[in-house]
Amino acid sequence: NLFIKLNRDIMQYLKKCIEMGKAFSLDASVKQGILTNGLRYSLSTGNWGDQKKAATSKAGVSQVLNRYTYASTLSHLRRTNTPIGRDGKIAKPRQLHNTHWGLVCPAETPEGQACGLVKNLSLMCNVSVGSDVTPITDFMAQRNMEPLEEYDPVRYPHATKIFINGVWVGVHHDPTQLVQVVRSLRRDGTLTPELSLVRDVRDREFKIFTDAGRVQRPLFVIDDNPNSPNKGNLVFNVDHIEKLEKDKSIDTAGMDEEDRDKTLYGWNGLLSDGVVEYLDAEEEETAMIVMTPDDLEDHHRASTLTEPEEEEDEYDDGVDIGAMDDEEGERKKSKGSRVDKDPHRRVKQKPNPLIKSYTHCEIHPSMILGICASIIPFPDHNQVCIFRTL
The DSSP secondary structure of 9-37, one letter per residue, reads HHHHHHHHHHHHTPPP-HHHHS-THHHHH
Neighbours of 351 (CB within 10 A): 20
Predicted pLDDT at 25: 83
Q: What is the DSSP string of 115-175?
A: TTTEEEB-TT-EE-----SHHHHHHHHHTTPEEGGG--TTT-TTPEEEEETTEEEEEES-H
Residues 6+ apart with CB under 8 A from 302: 311, 314, 350, 351, 353
Q: Which residues of 288-309 are buried (b: 16+ CB within 10 A; e: fewer)?
A: ebbeeeebbebbeebeeeeeee
Which candidate, 329, 239, 222, 230, places its Cα nearest to that of 277? 222
Q: Within its chain, how far is the Cα of 161 from the centroid?
A: 26
Predicted pLDDT at 254: 83
Distance between CA atoms of 236 and 234, rounded to whole angstroms? 5
Which candidate, 297, 295, 334, 327, places its Cα nearest to that of 313? 334
Predicted pLDDT at 307: 44
Tell me which residues of the chain have a pLDDT lower than 50. 306-314, 318-319, 321-323, 335-339
Residues 6+ apart with CB under 8 A from 300: 232
118 close to 109: Cβ distance less than 8 angstroms: yes
Name the DSSP class of 303: H
47 close to 39: Cβ distance less than 8 angstroms: no
Predicted pLDDT at 80: 92
290 close to 361: Cβ distance less than 8 angstroms: yes
Q: What three-state secondary structure class fits 225? A: coil
Tell me the pTM.
Answer: 0.78
